[in-house]
Amino acid sequence: MQASHSFELGAPAVRAVRIGGDAPLFLIAGPCVIESEAHAMHTAERVATIAAEAGVPLVFKASYDKANRSSISSYRGPGLKEGLRILAQIKKRTGLPILTDVHEVAQVGPAAEVCDVLQVPAFLSRQTDLLLAAGRSGRAVNIKKGQFLSPWDIAHAVEKVVSTGNEKIILTERGASFGYQNLVVDMRSFPIMRKLGYPVVFDVSHSVQLPGGAGKASGGQPEFIEPLARAAAAVGVDGVFLEVHEVPAKALSDGTNALPLADLSPLLRKLTRIAALARQLDQPGEEVRRVSAYGGRERRKGPRAKAAR
């Protein structure tokens, strides 16, 4: 895929994350919602350790309010004030860049004081006032492509944010509605959205969701997290979005499509290898090292290999 705009998230002196351009694959990960301060902090520290060991730059994510839960009785989170206090503590202790979603214009200002990335939820990806407010905050804006939008239609959302003078934009694919209570991922959407010039992320967790499929909550097919993530890494996405939980069955939100925390490390090691090769293949004229499927020696291909003979 063609190269995207590049920028940094977080404090340069701590754990700044450069995304886009020729930067390596980065990760957005954390629990779906803040369940408690202790749980969110523990998850952030665990994920930070796993990502560091895998050599993957990390942006920690968690929501203070899940405003679009299926049922009125579902857990939504600690709320704006308490949730941002917890996220601020996580940022202070870990030094990680923080991402959270905003649902109303009034939430943008307080969230921007704490978080490095403001996420516009998929259901709200056409809301002009919210996009403008997020853009004016000066923070990076992660626009989740609505389940009802084509990949080229996200250009209108991008235009709204860019009109504020803010070009720190991330575009996230999270699946497209396919009939009732089902989503599919069109891999063509990644190169199509990348042509807009901004980093593209694949939200694997919500792409395997079955909206409303569990009655008063959404269902999911977590067994497809790895194959879809591997496919997106091969296409050349800039980043991967994963919701994780140590025991998904006990998660207070979206546990049916969360990745068990114990499975994160092996998955990241596979994704980084695939992503590195995809980036290498995207470099015209560069040598590509290939290993025979039968255990043969590595061979160099390309102009430099000929020159070395």
- For the stretch 129-170, pLDDT in tens is 999 999 999 999 999 999 999 999 999 999 999 999 999 999
Please report how the helices 37-54 and 80-94 are oriented relative to each other, as an axis angle in degrees rounded to 10.
40
pLDDT at 295 over 50: no
Integer Cα distance of 119 and 121 in angstroms: 6
- Cα angle 57, 59, 64; round to 5: 165
pLDDT at 309 over 70: no
173-191: average pLDDT: 93
- The Cα-based distances of 163 to 129, 146, 160 in angstroms read 12, 20, 5
Q: What is the pLDDT of residue 212?
A: 77
Integer Cα distance of 49 and 270 in angstroms: 17
Q: What are phi and psi of 39, to 5 degrees?
A: -65, -45
300: confidence class by pLDDT, cuts 50, 70, 90: very low
Q: What is the pLDDT of residue 69?
A: 72
0.75 surpassed by pTM: yes
Q: Where are the alpha helices (DSSP H) in the chain?
A: 37-54, 80-94, 105-114, 128-136, 154-162, 189-194, 204-207, 225-235, 264-281, 303-308
- Cα angle 187, 29, 234; round to 5: 30
Q: What is the pLDDT of residue 293?
A: 40
Q: What percent of the chain has pLDDT over 70?
A: 89
For 89, the token pair is: 């503590």
285: confidence class by pLDDT, cuts 50, 70, 90: low
- For the stretch 226-270, pLDDT in tens is 999 999 999 999 999 999 999 999 999 888 899 999 999 999 999
Residue type, 186: D
pLDDT at 282 over 60: yes
Q: What is the DSSP letter of 24?
A: P
CA dihedral 41, 47, 52, 54 (to 10 degrees): 170
Q: What is the DSSP letter of 184?
A: E
Integer Cα distance of 1 and 31 in angstroms: 30
Q: Where are the domains of the chain?
A: 7-308
Count CB neighbours of 20 within 10 A: 22
1: confidence class by pLDDT, cuts 50, 70, 90: confident
Q: What is the pLDDT of residue 12?
A: 65
- Average pLDDT of the chain, as a whole number: 90
15: confidence class by pLDDT, cuts 50, 70, 90: confident
pLDDT at 297 over 70: no
161-187: average pLDDT: 94
pLDDT at 216 over 80: no
Query: Which candidate, 184, 195, 196, 248, places its Cα nearest to that of 222?
Result: 248
30-50: average pLDDT: 98
Residue type, 152: W
Considering the domain 7-308 in this protein, what is its CATH number? 3.20.20.70
Query: Which candidate, 260, 257, 243, places its Cα nearest to that of 213?
Result: 257
Q: Is the distance from CB of 98 to CB of 115 less than 8 angstroms?
A: yes
Q: Which residue has the higher pLDDT, 12 or 175?
A: 175
290: confidence class by pLDDT, cuts 50, 70, 90: very low
- For the stretch 68-110, pLDDT in tens is 777 787 889 999 999 999 999 999 999 999 999 999 999 999 9
Spatial neighbors of 256 by CB under 8 A, at least 6 apart, are 209, 210, 213, 214, 217, 218, 219, 220, 222, 248
Q: What is the pLDDT of residue 286?
A: 52
- For the stretch 99-134, pLDDT in tens is 999 999 999 999 999 999 999 999 999 999 999 999
Integer Cα distance of 288 and 294 in angstroms: 18
